[in-house]
Each structure stands twice: as C-alpha cells, then as structure tokens.
Chain A
C-alpha cells in the first residue's frame, strides 16, 4: 500500500514540478525541452492509471510530435521575440499577486465540482461491456472508437483535415534544414524500417489489445518526419496526387461506409451483423494512412508551398 502511494506521490510531485518549470523557466528552448519531458512523464501516468492506449498516444503525439512542432516554431521566431516580457523587472512577483489569488479561487471552485465525482458511477461501462461481443473487435477502446462512437472518430478526422487546410493557407516558406550529421543519417536508416514494422503491428493489434489507428498513424508520421528532416525522403506536398488521395482517403472512406450502411438500412455507421470486423479494419487502415500523412505535413510543412 505504502509503495503504491510512494509511486503515485513521486509521479505527482515530478509532474507538478515539471509543469511549473515548463511555464516559468527563463529560456524558451529549455521550456520546450521540459515540455517534451512533461509529455513523457504524463505517458507514464497514463500507464499507471491503466490506460496503455493513451500512454502510447501521448508519447507519440503529445510529447514527440508536439515537441517537434514547438521546436520548429521556435526556429522560425526571431531572437528578439523569444524573450518573455513578464520575466523582466523586479516587480514581476508583486504584479503576479492577483493572478495567483484568481487561480487559487478557481482551484477551490473546481475542487468543489470534482470531489463528489468518484461516488457516482457511469452506466456506459456496463453498456460497452454488454455489446462488446457484437462490436467486431475485442479491444474495448477500439470498439468504442470505431463502432459505438464512430461519429466522434469521423468528426475528429475532419478536425485534423480542417487544421491541415487552415495551416496550408498561412505563410509557408521553410528555412532550409541544416545538413544532417552522419550518426543521425545512420540511425534513421536503421529506425525507418523498424518504425514501419511497429506501426503496422500496432494497427493490427489494435483490434484485440492496446493500439490502433491513432497510435500507428502518429508513429508512422514520426518516422516520415525523421526521414524528411534527414533528406532521405523526397519532398511531398499537396500537389502530389497520392498525398491528396491518402489525406482525403480516411474521411472519404469513413463517410462512404456510413452512407453504405445507411443505404443498407442499418443506419449511419451502424454496421450490419458480421460485417463489423472487416469494415473496422479497412477504416482503420485508411485512417492510419490519412493521419500519418496529415500529421507529417502539419509538422514539417510543405517545401513547395502555395504562392500568390
């Protein structure tokens, strides 16, 4: 018992310290590196709380890809604008008074809202368990994502697509990445096939164990970004027909399945009996590729961008 609390306590202490350090460390670069560490620690906490799916997703998306995005943004920020104005001047601590009081007040209010929650139990757990046999996949999280609440997942793919479209409209032009050093090149050649292998494995295992389209997609995106940064992969962009096909393919296939099931009379995205398993696998494959390419393009941008 005491050992468990020791573990929980140190995790909590570490995550709070890291959060404070991320926010208030003086150098922006240090802040971003600490944020990546924060994401990895958060992945540990998800694993501790019995959520291995989330641990995988957090490590790949929350820590890895977000960290890369932040570093890329830092690289494009002029040095004069990296400083934090609130850190200059001796009166900063006096001036932070009202913000601290406000935060403590909100903390107290939120605690009142959150504290009674553990007493109430949710009915959806039992509902999900009861219908798991008919879901077509054995892993409950995948069943929820692609069968019971497939609408959420479809809309989420649309959000990803929307973000990608919006990012494309804004100032493109990447500064040329510096020449990759030999060790990085060697490692990338070694890592790339492994990443593809593990990505495929995660996707396949997702139907019975933790894993699935999002984790696999994020992992593949990480591999593609690594190869792109070392210049081992040729430039890709919206002007390539295959990129468009793959990016739109996830949403399009999902929508087509929805319309097809509707036409069959089962209702939008309500799979007919016996079809759920194969349909879910097909949707997951399309979604994985779509997520992988979209995330890659979101992070590294396009080299030949929209001009005019």
Chain B
C-alpha cells in the first residue's frame, strides 16, 4: 500500500465519521463540528491526490487553501444562525 492510498482511505474514513456524527448528534454546535470534520476528510483526499506526482500538485493545494477560507466563512454563518435559533427558542419558553 502506498502513502497516497493510505491517506486517501484515511480521508474517506474521516468523512464517514463526520457523516455518522451529523446523523446521530442533535446539538447544533456539535453538528457544525461534524460538518467541519467531513470537510477535513475531503481536504485530506485532495491533499493525498496532490501527492501522486513527484512534485505535489499546486492546483489541489490552492483549491484546499480556498476551501479552508470558504469553510470558516460557512462555519461562522452557521454558528451565528445556531445561536440565534437557540435564543429565540428560549424566548418562546
């Protein structure tokens, strides 16, 4: 088994772990963390694929850097939505 294959499988495993968390967990912050772990799995697959050639593939790396910033934007928005939702739920009670 090569290193590329090893990290490819690890990435898929992380993604599936995150998915399992997303299905099972209900607390909004925990769900957002699960999605972030799924994202990390996707990044790991991409970085492993970048290792296929002798020099790492710069296009994949650039895509993952872009992905990281998009992930934190989405996380910030999701967390704000989650907190707002909790607040209004509390108001109703």
Residues of chain A whose beta carbon lies under 8 Å from any beta carbon of chain B: 4, 8, 12, 15-16, 19-20, 22-24, 28, 31-32, 35, 38, 42, 45-46, 49-51, 53-54, 57-58, 61-62, 65-66, 69-70, 72-74, 76-78, 80-86, 96, 99-100, 102-104, 106-107, 110-111, 114-115, 117-118, 120-122, 124-125, 128-129, 140-141, 143-145, 148-149, 152-153, 156, 159-160, 162-164, 166-167, 170-171, 212, 214, 291, 295, 298-299
When C-beta atoms are compared, the residue in chain A nearest to B79 turns out to be A73
**Known A51-B61, A62-B40, A70-B29; 15 more pairs at CB < 8 Å:** A16-B17, A19-B14, A23-B20, A23-B34, A31-B33, A49-B51, A54-B65, A99-B20, A103-B16, A118-B8, A144-B59, A145-B66, A159-B73, A164-B73, A167-B76
The one of A28, A58, A69, A291 that contacts B75, using a Cβ cutoff of 8 Å: A69
Majority-rule SS of A interface residues? helix
Q: Digitize B1-39: 1 where CB-to-A-CB distance is under 8 Å, 0 elsewhere.
A: 011111111111111111111011111011011101100
The minimal Cβ–Cβ distance linking A277 to chain B, given in whole angstroms, is 17
- The bracket for how many chain B residues form the interface is 35 or more
Tell me which residues across on chain A come within 8 A of B34, comparing CB atoms.
23
Chain A's closest residue to B5 (CB) is: A118
B55 neighbours in A (Cβ, 8 Å): 125, 129, 140
Contacts of B9 in A (CB 8 A): 111, 114
Complex Cα gap A259–B54 (Å): 37
